Amino acid sequence: MKNVVLLGSTGSIGTSTVKVVEDLPDRIRLLALAAGNNSELLLDQARKHQPAAISISEPAKAQALRDAVGTAIEVYSGNEGLLKLATLPAADIVLIAIVGTAGLQPALAAIRAGKDIAVASKEILVMAGEIVMNEARQHGVRVLAVDSEHSAIFQCLDGKPASFVRKLWLTASGGPFRDAALWPKEKFSEITVERALKHPSWVMGRKITIDSATLFNKGLEMIEARWLFDVEMPRVGVVVHPQSVVHSMVEFVDGSLIAQLSTPDMCLPIQYALTYPDRAASDRVQTDFPKIGCLTFEEPDPERFPALSLARRAGEIGGTLPAVLNAANEIAVEAFVNRRINFPQITATVSATMAAHSVVAHPTLKQILEADAWARSETGKITNGK
Ligand code: MG
């Protein structure tokens, strides 16, 4: 039985994780659950799964939860609650699916407490990949990927060292504006929030859906891959694959390529992270090749999607620049969703913030968080001026 701490239990990844746990009651136990604002769903989950502890962001909501769950479940709140849950002595693995930077400290706390971590929050490796991977090596714990692409690469690598790799190929659906005939560059400024929120193959949270439309999501994944698999940025490639059946590929030095395929369902990479190194029987995911018919691949368009080259530059220069890219993008997406800037201005704003940043090489966590705060304020100034 694996004891899982789930940080971010009410979001898209969190609810899929709960489904996986329900599929495998003999293998996985939800030891603890943390949620942001949705205390009603957290309460439902707690009643059903009877974890040892739960935590809610807002301290004001903790008392009502305490009254509702009784004494068998400890109730915590805030960042302190996340740290408490991430380091519970009985925890085997901590799955971090919290939006934003709030997952960073609990991830490091879990590693230092000797726990394996499963990472769904991109910020953790994008902002602090070097620190997180170094700490994981020092403490002898695993950093497992929950993202479908990184899970695919992890499965394809199957323990082979980076020296066997010619290139990692992340696949991208291309998002809703992939088709250059339907969406030429001139039309990008007319893209509405509603249109950008319609993703062709995945149902996800709002921020990540916009990131899939700009391809910033893939850019962040490139930086994550660089750290998770210890390869330099030039060995991380992106290919557009609209069917989202090939989840990613590894090209080995002998020219052989290994890919991982299935119909898209986030439950699969989540289950693999939670059952690794085992494979657990589940009927949830079925792949029908004749029905899929064909799989196609194309080059990403750098003109319409400059996010990829911005992310490549951030990953190559490293230091505090990936944290700046990430924070600037978060603020720019918020400004787009609130209709203060148009769609192409998301990448333009990120680019301007990156250009204004003085990069700190091999930063400490404190310097990373300072760069994050600086980028938020700088991007805020730019987007508020529009
Ligand atoms: Mg992904």
Q: Give me ligand 1 centre to Cα 28, in Å.
A: 24
- 109 pLDDT tier (thresholds 50, 70, 90): very high
Q: For residue 26, how far is its CA from the centre of ligand 1 (angstroms)?
A: 28
Q: Enter the pTM of the model.
A: 0.95
pLDDT at 207: 87
If you measure from the C-alpha of residue 149 to the centroid of ligand 1, how many angstroms do you get, rounded to a whole number? 5
User: What digits encode the pLDDT tens for the residues 132-158?
Assistant: 999 999 999 999 999 999 999 999 999
Going from the Cα of 89 to the center of ligand 1, the distance in angstroms, rounded, reads 31
pLDDT tens for 222-246 read 999 999 999 999 999 999 999 999 9
Whole-number Å distance, alpha carbon 221 to ligand 1 midpoint, is 7
Ligand 1 geometric centre to CA of 247 (Å): 8
Tell me the pLDDT tens digit for each residue of 277-300. Answer: 999 999 999 999 999 999 999 999
Q: What is the 3-state secondary structure (H, E, C) of the chain?
A: CEEEEEECCCCHHHHHHHHHHHHCCCCEEEEEEEECCCHHHHHHHHHHHCCCEEEECCHHHHHHHHHHHCCCCEEEEHHHHHHHHHCCCCCCEEEECCCCHHHHHHHHHHHHCCCEEEECCHHHHHHHHHHHHHHHHHHCCCEEECCHHHHHHHHHHCCCCHHHEEEEEEEECCCCCCCCCCCCHHHHHHCCHHHHCCCCCCCCCHHHHHHHHHCHHHHHHHHHHHHHCCCCHHHEEEEECCCCCEEEEEEECCCCEEEEECCCCCHHHHHHHHHCCCCCCCCCCCCCHHHHCCCCCECCCCCCCCHHHHHHHHHHHCCCHHHHHHHHHHHHHHHHHCCCCCHHHHHHHHHHHHHCCCCCCCCCHHHHHHHHHHHHHHHHHHHHCC
* Structural domain 2-145, CATH architecture: 3-Layer(aba) Sandwich (3.40)
The answer to whether residue 205 scores a pLDDT higher than 80 is no
CA 218 to ligand 1 center in whole angstroms? 7
pLDDT at 342: 97
**Confidence class of residue 101 from pLDDT cuts 50, 70 and 90?**
confident
Domain map (residue ranges) of the chain: 2-145, 151-307, 318-386
CATH fold of 318-386 reads: Rna Polymerase Sigma Factor; Chain: A (1.10.1740)
